């Protein structure tokens, strides 16, 4: 009997299940990478003692990735949950952490939204717009990054500079669901100026956000326009100026709960989102580079507006605005790095951020908008020392003072021990994390009327080993981790109380309030492998086995699968010509906190190929979701069905 194709793919995944992957670049030497996120300075990955994965520009181009979270979901320890097709609400879980407990940066700019209830990053609108690399740092990281870095840090870097004054790239593609995408990007180095800039348009008819298998046939479209700029001007040999910008505007059709039955189904609602942000920094290098300093001013402004109101007279939706949320953040940073010989480095700094919120549901019946502001100031220091040719130790401490919740101190220690000429690395680290209560939790009508909210805190540790084999053509990694969270902020539902008591007496009309209650634990292991047996073939695999538990109830945390894994194989017979496939598996999990709504396991297969039509022109195409996996990504929401896409890339 011939096995079903899906069964064969799952069997392949299970066979490779004890290994996991960091992606390979063009040469075997790239298996030993330089990263910047672990210590906020450029360091060999094997000396940081941290779990960190890198997605390169070559990976994004070869896999033809448009939506960044589609690539993040194939990284160890990460789970992505999206409510339907492109542009819909998207959540990221790193090692069991909540969506708002991980920090996302674009060229040093935080895109965690101050106006959202849990401060989660704006991920649904994050597209591949001429990205240079993405670094994914797992585990609590508040010592260097402050609030929001309980689960980890996603550091997105765009292209800048180059070997020529001008490198121009153009891309156009289209395909299923009436999808269209156009991108123009330029970068280069011209005298003292290094620059990069890009503009991107993406539009799709999409699929119904509410699951089509429940009778919902209206597709929910999505349109996104984004632009980035990244410039560095070398004013003198020791002084430079950085200017960066990020802009995105999108429109997303959504589904809701229209009358008369108020069940989740097709309706005419939609949302308009925009985010604009800027970064300006002055960098100084003194004493032959032994002392470097940076002063930066960063500002961001987000605005989310939703439209669609039911008219009880005509029983029809009108395009009236029904909700808005605006958030802003102004941040000033100072960082210094002192190199004391080749083996010692001290990183230190201070940061202050002011966040603001304005939100309202319309009509408000005279209640007026919810507004709030908060200021947090942090100071940090981290010492890294290679005390022997093979052993590198790192230790850091941070102190934060928040205007609303008070102060918090965070610690970090890490060790990396390289053996056998660097082919084996043993590593371990411990880190703390905290997350300040969000502005919505503090100032909305659901704020706690009787007790001040405390910061959410987490402690995480890990031990692991990295091994290079077969003349450094194969890298295998195994990591065991644990993460414990305390004081998690949750919503108390007063409607569950027969007779209002305590804070519910004051929040009876609102129906509930935010309070500190949660304790959770996530522990498991991640395994990775990347293999380049020859110049034309590369293979990768990863596997995560994690148990994330709510310690107050003993139940599994929602939407965190116990098992997940990914494998891929690419053949590149000549430059810019390739053929590859990837398989992603997400295990069974629950969609709610009471573990009563199960989500089935699912497997997704993608194929991708490219062909060089000449030195400056490339044809590419892909099939996403080859076997038409339609398992609900979250309960009640639809999955994107099989799609075929093709396009052209030109370089000038």
What was the pLDDT predicted at 22?
36
Contacts of 366 (CB under 8 A, 6+ apart): none
Q: Residue 317 above 90 pLDDT?
A: no
Rounded percentage of the chain residues whose pLDDT exceeds 70: 94
Q: From the CB of residue 499, how many other CB atoms can be counted at a distance below 10 Å?
A: 6
- Residue 438 Cα distances to 77, 112, 148, 307, 544, angstroms: 25, 11, 10, 25, 30
Please tell me the distance from the alpha carbon of residue 543 to that of residue 526, in angstroms, as a whole number.
6
Please tell me the distance from the alpha carbon of residue 85 to that of residue 211, in angstroms, as a whole number.
10
Mean pLDDT over 161-185 rounds to 97
Nearest to 83 by CA among 215, 262, 208: 208
- Average pLDDT of every residue of the chain: 92
Q: Residue 23 above 50 pLDDT?
A: no
CA 333 to chain centre: 22
Mean pLDDT over 114-123 rounds to 93
Q: Residue 21 above 60 pLDDT?
A: no
3-state SS class at 72: helix
Q: Residue 1 above 60 pLDDT?
A: no
Residue 601 CB-density burial (10 A; 0-12 exposed, 13-18 middle, 19+ buried): middle
pLDDT tens per residue, range 229-243: 999 999 999 999 999
pLDDT-based confidence at 27, cuts 50/70/90?
A: very low
What was the pLDDT predicted at 518?
82
Greater pLDDT, 529 or 26 = 529
Mean pLDDT over 25-38 rounds to 66
* Three-state helix/strand/coil letters over 281-328: EEEEEECCCCEEEEEEEEEEEEEEEEEEEEECCCCEEEEEEEEEEEEE
Greater pLDDT, 331 or 318 = 331
**How many domains does the chain fold into?**
1
Q: Residue 10 above 50 pLDDT?
A: no
| Per-position b or e across 528-566, b if 16+ CB within 10 A of its CB | bbbbbeeeeebbbbbbbbbebbbeeeeebbbbbbebbbb
What was the pLDDT predicted at 148?
92
Domain range for residue 619? 5-651
Angle formed at CA 576 by CA 574 and CA 582, multiple of 5 degrees: 95
pLDDT tens per residue, range 552-567: 899 999 999 999 999 9
pLDDT-based confidence at 24, cuts 50/70/90?
A: very low
- List the CATH number of the domain containing 201: 2.40.170.20
What predicted TM-score, i.e. pTM, was given to this entire model?
Answer: 0.92
What was the pLDDT predicted at 416?
97
3-state SS class at 596: coil
pLDDT tens per residue, range 349-393: 999 999 999 999 887 665 778 999 999 999 999 999 999 889 999
Q: Residue 105 above 90 pLDDT?
A: yes
Contacts of 136 (CB under 8 A, 6+ apart): 52, 53, 54, 55, 72, 75, 78, 94, 152, 153, 154, 155
Q: Residue 90 above 70 pLDDT?
A: yes
pLDDT tens per residue, range 42-58: 999 999 999 999 999 99
Q: Residue 16 above 60 pLDDT?
A: no
pLDDT-based confidence at 312, cuts 50/70/90?
A: low
- Residue 557 Cα distances to 195, 440, 591, angstroms: 44, 23, 9
Mean pLDDT over 463-471 rounds to 95
First to last CA, the chain: 53
Half-sphere exposure of 281 (CA within 13 A, CB side): 24
Greater pLDDT, 316 or 266 = 266
What was the pLDDT predicted at 366?
59
Mean pLDDT check: name the lowest of 18-27, 184-193, 218-227: 18-27
Q: Residue 19 above 70 pLDDT?
A: no
Please tell me the distance from the alpha carbon of residue 91 to that of residue 94, in angstroms, as a whole number.
10
């Amino acid at each position: 009997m011939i096995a079903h194709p899906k069964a064969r793919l799952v069997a392949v995944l299970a066979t490779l299940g004890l290994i996991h992957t960091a992606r390979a670049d063009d040469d075997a030497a790239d298996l030993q990478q330089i990263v910047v996120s672990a210590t906020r300075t450029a360091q060999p990955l094997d000396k940081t003692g941290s779990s960190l994965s890198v997605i390169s520009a070559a990976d994004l181009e070869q896999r033809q990735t448009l939506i960044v979270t589609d690539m993040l979901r194939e990284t160890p320890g990460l789970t992505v949950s999206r409510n339907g097709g492109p542009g819909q609400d998207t959540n990221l879980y790193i090692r069991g952490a909540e969506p708002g407990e991980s920090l996302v940066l674009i060229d040093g700019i935080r895109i965690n939204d101050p106006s959202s209830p849990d401060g989660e990053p704006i991920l649904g609108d994050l597209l591949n717009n001429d990205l240079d690399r993405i670094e994914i740092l797992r585990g609590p990281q508040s010592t260097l990054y402050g609030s929001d870095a309980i689960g980890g840090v996603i550091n997105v870097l765009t292209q800048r500079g180059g070997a020529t004054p001008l490198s121009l790239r153009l891309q156009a593609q289209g395909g299923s669901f009436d999808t269209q995408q156009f991108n123009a990007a330029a970068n280069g180095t011209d005298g003292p100026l290094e620059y990069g800039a890009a503009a991107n348009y993406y539009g799709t008819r999409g699929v119904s956000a509410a699951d089509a298998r429940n009778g919902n046939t209206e597709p929910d479209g999505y349109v996104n326009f984004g632009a980035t700029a990244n410039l560095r001007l070398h004013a003198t040999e020791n002084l430079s100026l950085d200017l960066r910008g990020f802009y995105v505007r999108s429109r997303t059709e959504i589904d809701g709960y229209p009358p008369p039955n108020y069940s989740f189904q097709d309706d005419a609602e939609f949302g308009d989102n925009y985010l604009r942000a800027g970064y300006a920094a002055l960098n100084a290098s003194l004493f032959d580079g032994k002392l470097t300093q940076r002063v930066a001013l960063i500002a961001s402004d987000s605005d989310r507006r939703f439209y669609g109101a039911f008219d009880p007279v005509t029983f029809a939706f009108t395009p009236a605005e029904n909700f808005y949320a605006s958030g802003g953040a102004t941040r000033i940073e100072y960082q210094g790095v002192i190199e004391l010989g080749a083996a010692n480095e001290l990183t230190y700094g201070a940061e202050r951020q002011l966040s603001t919120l304005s939100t309202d549901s319309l009509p408000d019946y005279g209640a007026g908008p919810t507004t709030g502001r908060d200021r947090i100031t942090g100071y940090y220091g981290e010492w890294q020392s290679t005390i022997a040719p093979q052993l590198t130790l790192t230790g850091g401490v941070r102190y934060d003072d928040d205007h609303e919740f008070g102060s918090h101190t965070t610690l970090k220690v890490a060790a990396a021990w390289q053996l056998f000429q660097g082919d084996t690395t043993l590593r371990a680290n411990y880190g703390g994390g905290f997350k300040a209560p969000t502005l919505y939790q503090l100032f909305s009508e659901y704020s706690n009327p009787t007790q001040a909210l405390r910061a959410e805190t987490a402690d995480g540790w890990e031990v692991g080993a990295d091994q290079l084999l077969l003349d450094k053509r194969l890298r295998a990694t195994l990591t065991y981790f644990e993460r414990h969270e305390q004081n998690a902020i949750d919503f108390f539902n007063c409607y569950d109380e027969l007779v209002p008591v305590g804070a519910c007496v004051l929040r009876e009309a609102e129906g509930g309030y935010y309070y500190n209650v949660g304790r959770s634990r996530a522990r498991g292991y991640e395994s990775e492998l990347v293999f380049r047996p020859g110049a034309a073939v590369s293979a990768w695999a990863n596997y995560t086995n994690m148990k994330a538990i709510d310690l107050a109830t003993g139940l599994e945390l929602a939407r965190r699968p116990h098992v997940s894994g990914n494998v891929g194989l690419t053949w590149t017979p000549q430059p810019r010509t390739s053929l590859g496939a990837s398989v992603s598996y997400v295990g069974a999990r629950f969609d709610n906190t009471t573990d009563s709504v199960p989500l089935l396991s699912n497997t997704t297969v993608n194929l991708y190929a490219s062909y060089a039509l000449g030195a400056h022109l490339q044809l590419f195409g892909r099939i996403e979701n080859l076997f038409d996996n339609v398992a609900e990504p979250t309960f009640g929401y639809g999955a994107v069905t099989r799609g075929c896409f093709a396009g052209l890339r030109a370089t000038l």
